[in-house]
Amino acid sequence: MQRNLQFSLSTLLLAATAALAPAQARREICFPDLPGRVTLVCDFHMHSVFSDGQVWPTVRVDEAWRLGLDAIALTDHIEYQPHRDDVPTNHDRPYALARERALQRGILLPMGTEITRDTPPGHFNAIFLDSVVPLDTKDLFTTFEQANAQRAFTFWNHHDWKGEQRGSWLEVHTQLHERGLLHGMEVVNGSVYYPRAHQWCLDKGLTMIGNSDIHEPDRGEASTSAAHRSVTLVFAEERSLPALRDALFAGRTVVWFGNTLIGKREWLAPLFAASVRVDGPYLRTDKHVFVGLENTSDVDFVLAREGNVGPAALTLAAGTKTLVKIAVKDPKAALTLAYTATNLWIAPQQGMAVQIEIPGQ
Ligand SMILES: [Zn+2]
Ligand SMILES: [Zn+2]
């Protein structure tokens, strides 16, 4: 009996030690779910030693867990493998190595790859593949047809990266788009925002994507509003791979880039509404009401007044409640604070109108 007890205690201690090891601690990224949708934080572009990355595939899963991501895709280059002498070509192997580790951690891991051609046409990712191998062909359209035959979601990466014709929408892109083979674009790649790609997504109905394209190990301990990977927030019907794919095809995304959120008003407006809670008013005097505005998200909301109610400028810092003193004529009346959220971009560098309703008495 006592022996058993001792065994149990030491097992418990071991388990506790394992659970507390810093590498295993996860810090969640906070963006609220939307009505009927689960908000998934996703990075669909990263590399391992199987192409030009510097880490083993499982390390990417550990990083995703630690940094609070919900879904990642390993997207090693098909056509560029500088470590080939040490790590032989095996396109499906990065996914196979990482899959079990992702399952253990509840990280969604669609199989992915990066189609890597000189500009034009440039680089593209395909995710939700069954196998990368059939995409390893010379003809670009055959590669895209193979990806689409597997019901993969495809997007154009860092369109302004390299080559004389970089940053141009050319005939080949029109062909891919018109034949329904191309579904999205990176509006953000790492630390770079592409206003032209942003506009093309709006004009051509392409899904907006933001990714890290990380090659080095990620040494970050947590994702914060000040320091985080560029990621895509995806509004899925549930936390599953099929629902994630459906949401991407339906364009239900917002890109989190620095302290800016980029997306369609259709998704930014409910995200703002779900993130901001009104507490109070705490006090109503003859000339003022005092109210708390809580921001439950991980982005600071930077607001510029449009109407004549409330402070001229207002920043609701991430994860905090801000006390706001509002000058009023009638302290008992309901109030509407009309602002432009200057860091919620519904078009290139164009903020979004928001309203916050303060209840009357
Ligand atoms: Zn690339
Ligand atoms: Zn890449």
The CA 64 to ligand 2 mean position distance, Å, reads 17
Q: What is the mean pLDDT of each run of 10 residues along the chain (361 residues)?
A: 44 49 81 98 98 98 98 98 95 98 98 96 98 98 98 97 93 98 98 98 98 97 93 98 98 98 98 98 97 98 96 98 97 97 98 98 93
The per-residue pLDDT of the chain, averaged, comes to 94
Distances (CA, A) of 346 to 34, 297, 342: 18, 18, 10
Which residues have CB less than 5 Å away from ligand 2 (the ion)? 114, 213
Question: Are the C-beta atoms of residues 334 and 309 closer than 8 Å to each other?
Answer: no
Whole-number Cα distances in Å, 263 to 229, 270, 324: 17, 12, 28
Q: How far is CA 111 from each of CA 71, 92, 152, 157, 281, rounded to the nearest angstrom?
A: 11, 8, 9, 17, 50
- Predicted pLDDT of residue 24: 81
Residue 293: both structure tokens together: 């505005």
Task: Name the residues around ion ligand 1, CB cutoff 5 A.
Answer: 123, 157
Distance 334 CA to ligand 2 centre (A): 51
CA distances, 100 to each of 64, 109, 139, 152 (Å): 14, 10, 33, 21
CA distance 59 to 7: 32
CB neighbour burial string for 252-272, b if at least 16 within 10 angstroms, e if fewer? bbbbbbebbbbbbeebbbbbb
Residue 77 Cα, ligand 2 centroid: separation in angstroms?
7
**What is the C-alpha separation between 170 and 150, in angstroms, rounded?**
26
Q: Say which ligand is closest to the CA of 53.
A: 2
SS3 352: strand
Cα 183 to ligand 1 centre (Å): 17
CA of 229 relative to ligand 2 center, distance in Å: 14
- Predicted confidence (pLDDT) per residue in 225-243, tens digit: 889 999 999 999 999 999 9
Give the residue from 88, 144, 81, 73 showing the smallest Cα distance to 115.
144
pLDDT at 23: 55
Query: Measured in angstroms, how far is the CA atom of residue 86 from the centroid of ligand 1?
Result: 22
Q: What are phi and psi of 177, to 5 degrees?
A: -70, -50
pLDDT of residue 3: 41
pLDDT at 13: 47
Quote the crossing angle between the two packed helices 140-149 and 171-178, to the nearest 10°.
20
Ligand nearest to the CA of 161: 1
What's the pLDDT at 157?
98
CB 233 within 8 A of CB 39: yes
